[in-house]
Amino acid sequence: MRLSFLAITVLACMALAQPAAAQSTQSTAEAVKELLANLWARLRAATPRSSEPEASAAPVTAGLRGTEATQSELRPYWRGDRDQNPAVRNERLALENAQALASAGKFHEAAAAFEAFIDANPRSTLAPNALFGAALARAAMGDKVRASSGFEEFLKRDPAHPLAADAKQALAALR
C-alpha cells in the first residue's frame, strides 16, 4: 500500500505541476501537491474497510488450556454488526474499488467510480466519503472547477464530517 500511496503522490504532483519560472509559484505548487497527498491518506483513514474474508474451518489452538476452535468460533458477534449485511459489504467494496483506482493513478476512472457510488447509494453513510474522493480525484486531474464544486457540495451536505476541515483546506488551495 505504501507504493500505491507514493504513486498517487507522484501522479498528483505531475497533474498539478504547472511550469513557472518564479520560485514562489513552485513552492505553492509543492504545497498543493503535498496537501493532495495528505488528503488521500486522510480519506483512506476515514473510510471503514471490509472485514477480512472468513478463514478456513481448520481448527486452531486458543485459550489457556489449548482448546481447539475454528476461526469463525473465535470471531465475536456484536449486536448491530453491519458487516454481516450484504448491502453494507457491497457498498464498502464499491468504495474500496474506487479508492484502488485512485491508488493506481487512474483518477478519471476513480472519479467516475466515486460518482457512480454516490448515484447508486445516495443515502449511504459512506456517500460523503465518495463525494470527497470524487472531488479529490478531480483535483488530482487538474480540474479545479469541478473539484471545487465537489468540495463545496461535500461541505454543504455534511458540514460536521471528520473530513470537513480538510475539504475547506482543499478549497483554499484550489483558489
CA 37-42-43 angle, to 5 degrees, is 100
- Tens digits of per-residue pLDDT, 132-164? 999 999 999 989 999 999 999 999 999 999 999
Give the pLDDT confidence score for residue 66 in this predicted structure.
54
In a domain, 74, yes or no: no
Please report the pLDDT score of residue 120 as a whole number: 93
The answer to whether position 77 is within a domain reads no
Please give the tally of structural domains in the chain.
1
**Mean pLDDT for the chain?**
75
> Would residue 157 count as lying in a domain?
yes
Q: How large is the C-alpha radius of gyration of the chain?
A: 20
Please check whether residue 75 lies inside any domain of the structure.
Answer: no
Q: Which whole number is the average pLDDT over 88-98?
A: 89
Average pLDDT over residues 1-11: 43
Let me know if residue 97 belongs to a domain.
yes
CATH number for position 141: 1.25.40.10
- Inter-residue contact 151 to 121 (CB < 8 Å): no
Tell me which residue range forms the domain holding 163. 2-49+86-174
* 21-72 pLDDT, tens digit each: 344 555 666 776 777 777 877 887 777 776 554 544 555 555 555 555 555 5
* Whether pLDDT at 92 is above 70: yes
Residue 102 domain-assigned? yes
Quick one: what percent of the chain has pLDDT higher than 90?
38
Q: Which residues pair with 62 in a beta bridge?
A: 67
Tell me whether residue 79 is in a domain.
no
